[in-house]
Amino acid sequence: MDENESGIQIQVATNYVDEQSEPDAGRYVFAYTITISNNGDVAAKLLSRHWVITDANGKVQEVSGDGVVGEQPYLEPGERFRYSSGAVLETPVGSMQGLYRMVAEDGMSFDAPIAPFTLAVPGLLH
């Protein structure tokens, strides 16, 4: 749970999607749910995202795009936005990190960092 100067807090929950994964084919599917909370004093809109996804072999995928799940949520102070998405790795363990490009109500743009989090098949890491 990270909160930057802007008061934007990002929480992440992850889980392994066994029924969509094919370990024998090097396909591990993970779902993640992100909650973005505006704990600041100024409304802000999420414009775009940038993810860096790294698997256990060191393979890096970078994903950028407008909004999240087709939306550019506008968060008033005290509001939150939650969405779920997924990632596919070639290894049973990996990590993700990134940032959301935001613009505050006063026109000032800023980045809300997303701290690194682990994607792992249950029981693999202790």
**pLDDT (tens digit, 9 = 90+) per residue, 69-106?**
999 999 999 999 999 999 999 999 999 999 999 999 99
Amino acid 1: pLDDT: 38
Query: What domains can be seen in the chain, in order of their start residue?
Result: 2-119 (2.60.40.1470)
Give the mean pLDDT of 110-117.
96
Amino acid 126: pLDDT: 55
Give percent helix, percent strand, percent coil of the chain, each to the nearest 5: 5, 65, 30
**How remote is the C-alpha of 71 from its chain's centroid?**
14
93 vs 54: CA distance, rounded Å: 9
Q: Angle at the Cα of 71 (from 38 to 53), degrees rounded to 5?
A: 80
With cut-offs at 50, 70 and 90, classify the pLDDT of residue 16.
Answer: very high
Please tell me whether the overall predicted TM-score, pTM, comes out greater than 0.75 for this model: yes
With tokens 């790795």, the residue in question is 89
The string of DSSP letters for 11-49 reads EEEEEE-GGG-BGGGTBEEEEEEEEEEE-SSS-EEEEEE
Average pLDDT of the chain, as a whole number: 94
Burial of 112 (0-12, 13-18, 19+ CB in 10 A): buried
Q: Is the pLDDT of residue 2 over 50?
A: no
